[in-house]
């Protein structure tokens, strides 16, 4: 049985898939993503794939080895990893090959659901893998930065889960102290109508200016990785909005409050 192979289409498909795989490798391995370099080395990889097709038309062990070397060169060139960085180069190449394996299994499944050209299927597969990687990173970040927090005020206490957030830059305008944010629903039974309130200005995307009521607690305890830290007279801003849709945490703690 004979097949007709259009080399221009073969080159274009390989170029696009190699580029997408390099992009996913950069995201997964936390490497600097430079689209120009990736495009140049994806083109080199596609030329190499065309050459390998002529050199090893029957496939075999030599083709597999040559393809692995080609993948290593693409990763090295795209992310400027020197041969002296052996572990980093091998690890990054392994991520590239893993992404290729994942993509190779995902594309046939996608094409069972909807008929798409290889390139569009590759883009759809890349979007799905990229979304999965982002969700994994978000889950890992939240898991590593979760801690148990105990709030004490006027003889009452409340335990809840807090998230250490490096992006929280909220400060008390009166004393310049870092301010934590807590959900109203999580602490509404802790306070009463006589609670003294400080108004904390804040800025968010879509709402340039706003204020949240802030309360000066007696103290709070942060338990993280088995170590407990006491903070006296902290200021906590109370938000009516839910901080985490999944309910994994009810409080956001600025990293300066924990690390200092």
Mean pLDDT on 75-86: 91
- In 155-244, which residue ranges form alpha helices assigned H by DSSP? 184-187
Identify the DSSP state of 151. Answer: E
| Confidence (pLDDT) at 9 | 77
237's enclosing H/E stretch is: strand 235-239
Structure tokens, 50: 């065309």
The set of residues, in sequence order, having a beta carbon less than 8 Å from that of 30 and lying 6+ positions away, is none
Which pLDDT does position 73 carry in this prediction?
A: 93
Lowest mean pLDDT among 2-16, 167-181, 206-220: 2-16
Average pLDDT over residues 21-38: 90
Give me the percent of the chain exceeding a pLDDT of 70: 86
Summarize pLDDT for 95-116 with one digit per residue, the tens: 998 888 888 776 666 555 555 5
Whole-number percent of the chain with pLDDT over 90? 24
- Do residues 146 and 248 make contact, with C-beta atoms less than 8 angstroms apart? yes
**Which of 51, 54, 99, 92 minimizes the C-alpha distance to 74?**
92
pLDDT, tens digit (0-9, with 9 covering 90-100), for 121-152: 677 777 878 888 887 777 776 767 888 999 99
Give the pLDDT confidence score for residue 6 in this predicted structure: 65
Select from 63, 58, 49 the least CA-distant residue to 18: 49
Distance, CA of 107 to CA of 110 (rounded, Å): 5
Q: What is the mean pLDDT of residues 5-18?
A: 79
**pLDDT per position as a tens digit, 197-249:** 888 888 765 556 788 888 889 999 998 877 889 999 999 999 888 888 778 88
Looking at residue 61, the DSSP 8-state letter turns out to be: H
Model confidence at 182, pLDDT cuts 50, 70, 90, reads: very high
Q: What token pair was written down for 6?
A: 């259009």
What's the pTM? 0.57
């Amino acid at each position: 049985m004979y097949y007709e192979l259009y080399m221009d289409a073969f080159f274009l498909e390989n170029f696009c898939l190699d580029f997408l795989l390099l992009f996913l490798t950069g995201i997964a391995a936390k490497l600097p993503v430079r689209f120009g370099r990736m495009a140049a080395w994806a083109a080199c990889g596609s030329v190499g794939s065309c050459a390998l097709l002529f050199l090893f038309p029957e496939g075999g062990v030599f083709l597999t080895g040559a393809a692995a070397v080609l993948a290593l060169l693409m990763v090295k060139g795209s992310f400027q990893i020197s041969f002296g960085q052996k572990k980093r180069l091998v690890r990054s190449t392994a991520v590239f090959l893993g992404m290729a394996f994942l993509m190779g299994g995902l594309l046939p499944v996608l094409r069972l659901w909807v008929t798409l050209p290889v390139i569009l299927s590759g883009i759809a597969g890349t979007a799905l893998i990229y979304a999965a990687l982002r969700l994994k990173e978000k889950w890992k970040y939240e898991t590593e930065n979760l801690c148990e927090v105990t709030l004490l005020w006027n003889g009452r206490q409340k335990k809840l889960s807090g998230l250490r957030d490096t992006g929280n830059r909220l400060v008390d305008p009166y004393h310049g102290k870092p301010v934590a944010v807590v959900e109203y629903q999580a602490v509404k039974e802790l306070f009463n109508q006589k609670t003294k309130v400080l108004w904390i200005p804040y800025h968010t995307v879509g709402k340039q200016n706003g204020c949240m009521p802030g309360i000066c607690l007696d103290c709070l305890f942060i338990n993280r990785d088995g170590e407990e830290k006491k903070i006296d007279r902290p200021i906590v801003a109370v938000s009516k909005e839910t901080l985490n849709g999944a309910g994994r945490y009810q409080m956001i703690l600025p990293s300066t409050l924990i690390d200092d």
